[in-house]
Structures are given as C-alpha cells and as structure tokens.
Amino acid sequence: MILEALQYAATWRVTKPEHRPYIRYSVNLWSRARRCAKDWAAHEANTRRAILEAAIKLETRRTVVVLGSGLLRDVPILELARAFDHVVLVDLVHVASVRSWVAAKSLKNVTFIERDLSGYDDLKVGRALEPLDFLRRVPWLDFVVSANLLSQIGMGAKKRLAKDGAGAMPEDTVAHLIRAHLDGLAQVPAKTCLVTDIAFEVVDRTGKTREQTDLLAGIEPPAHQHRWTWPVAPLGEESMDYQIIHTVIAV
Ligand SMILES: C[S@@+](CC[C@H](N)C(=O)[O-])C[C@H]1O[C@@H](n2cnc3c(N)ncnc32)[C@H](O)[C@@H]1O
C-alpha cells in the first residue's frame, strides 16, 4: 500500500491535470503486474518478441511510436532505443517509476507523450473519428506498435459511457472506437505491429470454462501470425474459485 501511495503521489506531479483521473488505473496495473509477474512473464515475452520480429524486417529505423506503452513491461524498450533514432511512447499515463527508470538508463532518444488514443471525446462532439491522425505529423515515422492497448480502449469507453449516461453517445460507441483504432493503424504511412487481447474466459478450479467474453465488441480480429493466452487474473488474484485467462493475438 505504501509503495502504491508513493507511486501515485509521484505520478500525480508529472501527469497533466486532465489525465490524473487515470493514474489510479495505471498504479493498480503496476501493482497487479508485480504480483502476477511470474504468470504474466510468458505473455510479456511473447509481446516483446512479436514487436522485435516486426522491427527487424524494417529497412529504415528512424522513428518508432509505441501506443499504450504504459509500464514498458511488454515493450522491448532497450532494443528499440538502440535500434531507432527516436522512440515515442504514448499513453494516458506513464507512472513516475517508469519515467525515472528511462532517465536512469540514459535513454535520451525516448520521449513520453500523454494522450488519449481512444477518440471518445471527438465522437462525443460529433467530430471525425481519427484517433491516430496525429501519426501523420510524426516525422520520419517507420514503425508503429499498438502494445496491448486496444481492448483497454474498449474497457475505458464502457466506463465513460456508464458515467455519461444513455443517449450521450452513439449506441455502438465501443465498436466504433475499436474499428477506428484498427482503421487508423491500417492507414498509417509506416509498418505496424498490433498486439491485443481479443477475448477472455473465466475458468473454474476444475478447468471448466464458466464464461466467455469478446473484448472487441463484435469486431472481427484481424488475421494474425501469433496467438497465445495470458492469465490476467491467475487463481487467487481475484478469487480462489476461478482464474481469468485472456486470448492475445499479434498482427
Ligand atoms: C494492458 S496495458 C499495456 C501495457 C504496456 N504495453 C506495458 O508494456 O506495460 C494498457 C495500457 O493502455 C493504456 N490506455 C488505456 N486506454 C487508453 C487510451 N484511451 N489512450 C491511451 N492509452 C490508454 C493504459 O494506460 C495502459 O498503460
């Protein structure tokens, strides 16, 4: 609890006011990732491998943008910082310990950007939904990574919808935002690598699946090269009676 409080306080100071409400999510994720480190290790290694596998095929490595960079657990940041001239990390929040770690490693070509990548606010006021439009203005862009972000755009939108109330947003808002991220990646003038969880299941102690949930709001996942499972809540994390296992793809 003390570590979380310190992380929260330090992150508050380096986060712009409109993004401070999201710090709690990032600190909770940081905490859970530490508790579940052993169970998450294979997923994180698979993600890093998929990103490097795509990066290695590039002819030029000037700028890479990582969307949903967050805690840098599944992003091969040292390798990217070595291979590219510039690494741009984009997330709602980058916790203080991650910023300090990057500074301590003297990764001088790494830039942190705080940005809402969902497009929710544009949709709310009826503006064109182009959440990745800003990538067109990034100079020498060779590579864009979406690192376990997409499902979280959907989850975040569901929370905001619950607050905004029925009628404030189009009915198919979550599907719209997920489609817009996939379309945005497809249109970006650079190579891309998408890693995302697409569904989860609740599995009881006997190994029986009790519930299955799609995380892409009915949008068909793109054709992918790799697929694996990620025990987001291993037995004992949320309950002694069940675990929650996500299915992840890399495109
Ligand atoms: C599962 S985590 C990804 C983990 C991260 N790639 C890492 O290596 O630690 C999802 C990330 O998406 C970010 N996120 C969620 N919704 C977002 C949004 N609308 N805009 C930008 N980032 C968002 C969260 O802050 C979080 O860091």
Q: What is the pLDDT of residues 105-158, one digit of tens each?
A: 999 999 999 999 999 999 988 898 999 999 999 999 999 999 999 999 999 999
Q: Is 179 exposed, middle or buried (0-12, 13-18, 19+ CB in 10 A)?
A: middle
Residue 156 CA, closest ligand 1 atom number: 16
Query: Which fold, 2-132+139-250?
Result: Rossmann fold (3.40.50)
Pocket test for ligand 1, best of 48, 73, 92, 160 (most atoms within 8 A of CB): 92
Q: What is the dihedral of CA 216, 63, 45, 28, to 10 degrees?
A: -60
Closest CA to 145 of 245, 22, 51, 250: 51
Can you tell me the distance from the alpha carbon of 144 to that of 100, in angstroms, rounded to the nearest whole number? 24
Kindly tell me if the per-residue pLDDT of 171 is higher than 90: no
Pairing outcome for strands 141-147 and 226-233: unpaired
Query: Model confidence over 61-76: pLDDT tens digits?
Result: 999 999 999 999 999 9
Secondary structure in 3-state letters for 77-144? HHHHHHHCCEEEEEECCCCHHHHHHHHHCCCCCEEEEECCCCCHHHHHCCCCCCCCHHHHHCCCEEEE
Cα separation, 177 vs 131, in Å, equals 8
| pTM exceeds 0.85 | yes
Nearest CA to ligand 1 atom 11: 68
Pocket of ligand 1 (CB under 6 A): 26, 29, 68-75, 91-93, 116-118, 147-149, 152-153, 156
33-90 residue pLDDT tens? 999 999 999 999 999 999 999 999 999 999 999 999 999 999 999 999 999 999 999 9
At 43 the three-state DSSP class reads helix
The pLDDT-based confidence of 26 (bands split at 50, 70, 90) is: very high
Pocket test for ligand 1, best of 36, 149, 193 (most atoms within 8 A of CB): 149
Ligand 1 centroid from CA 232, angstroms: 14
Domain boundaries of the chain, sorted by first residue: 2-132+139-250
Mean predicted lDDT score pLDDT of the chain: 95
Give residue 152 CA to ligand 1 midpoint distance, Å: 7
Taking the centre of ligand 1 as the mean of its atom positions, its distance from the CA of residue 151, in whole angstroms, is 9
CA gap 40, 198 in Å, rounded: 16
pLDDT at 110: 98
